Amino acid sequence: MSIRHHKPSPTPSWQQFSRLLRSLCCLWTLALSVTGSYHERRLYEDLMREYNTLERPVANHTQPVTVYLKVSLQQLIDVDEKNQIVYVNAWLDYTWNDYKLRWDKEEYGNISDVRFPVGKIWKPDVLLYNSVDSNFDSTYHTNMIVYHTGDVSWVPPGIFKISCKIDIKWFPFDEQRCFFKFGSWTYDGNKIDLQPAKGGFDITEYLPNGEWALPMTTVSRTEKFYDCCPEPYPDVTFYLHMRRRTLYYGFNLIMPCILTTAMSLLTFSLPPEAGEKITLQITVLLSICFFLGILAEMSPPTSEAVPLLGIFFSCCMIVVTASTVFTVYVLNLHYRTPETHEMGATTRTILLYWMPYFLRMERPGITLSWENLPSLLPCSKPKRHSESLIRNIRETENGSRKSSLDIERRLQQYMTTTSLVAAVNGKSGLNTLETTVFVKPGPLPTHSEIGATATTLILQRIHNELKIITKQMIEAERDEEASNQWKFAAMVVDRCCLYIFTIFIVATTVGILTSAPYIVA
């Protein structure tokens, strides 16, 4: 008979105990979670029991629902001046009280707030009146937060496209006043009382814009009566007071335009022989037209006002156009010759004496002072040095002409008499003296007189040649002097235009800048 030995049962180990403890903790946690979800589910069921989303949340239907609205501005994205649209990123904060959504949080596991998606509970049909978005309502429908007191908070964010009338009168030194206008689309003021919330326009989280500064924001509430209905329709308007920053436009439009226009002044100091005066003016004119094209692309196509920068560009264009006209006139004066033009007495007095005196222009060989300035009234033509020289030559010519004719006549008589004497001596053998006395009773010239007469004839020929050369030289000197006068007149007009257009450009620039509401923002 065999004896069977029984092994003692093993005692529980520490691992089994820890496993059991973890299982108990998991069961306790699950029980708590099931209890929390139970309270929340029960709260939702109790709140939605017999709740109608079409019913206004007021105990008395004759009383309006007070809805508070606040706008939290996040970013000013863009201002489209051409289409007069402003793009804004903002959050709308609606607050109202729904008496049907109240509960005692101690009865529901101390739950103080719950969330409802849009459409589950009543919400006001408030829209942005001046929206130009394709969907009109551009907000993102987020959940609504309901507190145990019945207060409902709904904060839908959105990127809004609002219409804003852009006043370009002072561009780029302009200030714009755009607004958000919110109101109920179907409820009148007796059904929904729309009010601005405390803090109205919140810009604490605003991201500054590089083009526009935001010095001020305001909120206002108005009531409007429409022709269709006798009831008032309230609206809340949030205003954006924007001021354009001018640094970009100053460095990219205003300064290049001023420098380009100032280059047109160099034309009046450029000599006409260079042949680049008109080319420089046309190049500057085309540059101003380019700046005007840029301005036209940035501005809305309106005829209500002309931007300040457009007026400045137009003045620059007028200056460059006028300087081109005067440059053509200067070139016309410079290349005039005595064969085609003759300078009048009044023109000579003004361009050669009076204007150079006031412009402090010096001319070689001529000293201008107030005492020796000629009169502007018509007067006799002054005698020039060349005319005196011609008169002297003519007097010398008239004085010598008589003596030369007398000597030639006597020489001719002598030659005739000598020929006759020679002929008679050959035939009759008479002596020369007797024949001479017989043929010509007058006295005969001597040998010294004959030599003097020949010398006089040679000198006369030389004198005639010198007279012709002198006349040509005088005429050339006269033509050169007249041409130099035209050239100097062109220089005077150039200098006068330089001063006038410089003053005009400086005065225009200073006048336009000082008329702007501000210079730097």
Alpha helices by DSSP H, 264-378: 277-298, 308-334, 345-349, 355-359
Give rounded-to-5 percent helix, strand, coil for the chain. Answer: 50, 20, 30
Which is more confidently placed, 195 or 384? 195
Average pLDDT, the chain: 81
Nearest to 168 by CA among 325, 60, 288, 310: 310
- Identify any residues that bridge with 76 across adjacent strands, giving them in sequence order: 88
| Percent of the chain residues topping a pLDDT of 90 | 36
CA-CA distance, 31 to 237, in Å (whole number)?
A: 52
The tokens describing 480, both together, are 């050169």
Please check the confidence at residue 389 and state whether its pLDDT lies above 70: no
- Least confidently predicted of 26-35, 91-100, 175-184, 314-323: 26-35
- Collapse the DSSP code of 446 into the 3-class scheme (helix H, G, I; strand E, B; otherwise coil) and give the result: coil
**CB under 8 Å to 443, separation ≥6 — which residues?**
none
Q: Give the helix/strand (H/E) hosting 456.
A: helix 447-515
CA-CA distance, 18 to 262, in Å (whole number)?
A: 93
CA-CA distance, 316 to 65, in Å (whole number)?
A: 61
CA-CA distance, 98 to 57, in Å (whole number)?
A: 5
CA-CA distance, 408 to 398, in Å (whole number)?
A: 16
pTM for this prediction: 0.68
CB 483 within 8 A of CB 334: no
Report pLDDT digits (tens) over 390-411.
454 455 445 555 555 555 565 4
Nearest to 277 by CA among 350, 225, 338, 326: 326
- Least confidently predicted of 56-70, 261-275, 402-416: 402-416
DSSP summary character for residue 131? B
Which is more confidently placed, 419 or 69? 69
Which is more confidently placed, 178 or 472? 178
- Least confidently predicted of 46-50, 177-181, 429-433, 508-512: 429-433
CA-CA distance, 148 to 111, in Å (whole number)?
A: 8
CB 316 within 8 A of CB 324: no
Please check the confidence at residue 112 and state whether its pLDDT lies above 60: yes
- Bridge pairing between strands 192-202 and 65-80: parallel
Domains of the chain: 65-245 (2.70.170.10), 249-375+506-515 (1.20.58.390)
CA-CA distance, 201 to 226, in Å (whole number)?
A: 27
The tokens describing 123, both together, are 């919400």
- Collapse the DSSP code of 340 into the 3-class scheme (helix H, G, I; strand E, B; otherwise coil) and give the result: coil
CA-CA distance, 443 to 414, in Å (whole number)?
A: 9
CB 316 within 8 A of CB 469: no
pLDDT average, residue stretch 451-479: 82
The tokens describing 38, both together, are 């139970």
**Residue 84 half-sphere exposure toward CB, CA atoms < 13 A:** 14
CA-CA distance, 107 to 425, in Å (whole number)?
A: 182
Please check the confidence at residue 294 and state whether its pLDDT lies above 90: no
Please check the confidence at residue 111 and state whether its pLDDT lies above 60: yes
CA-CA distance, 120 to 42, in Å (whole number)?
A: 16
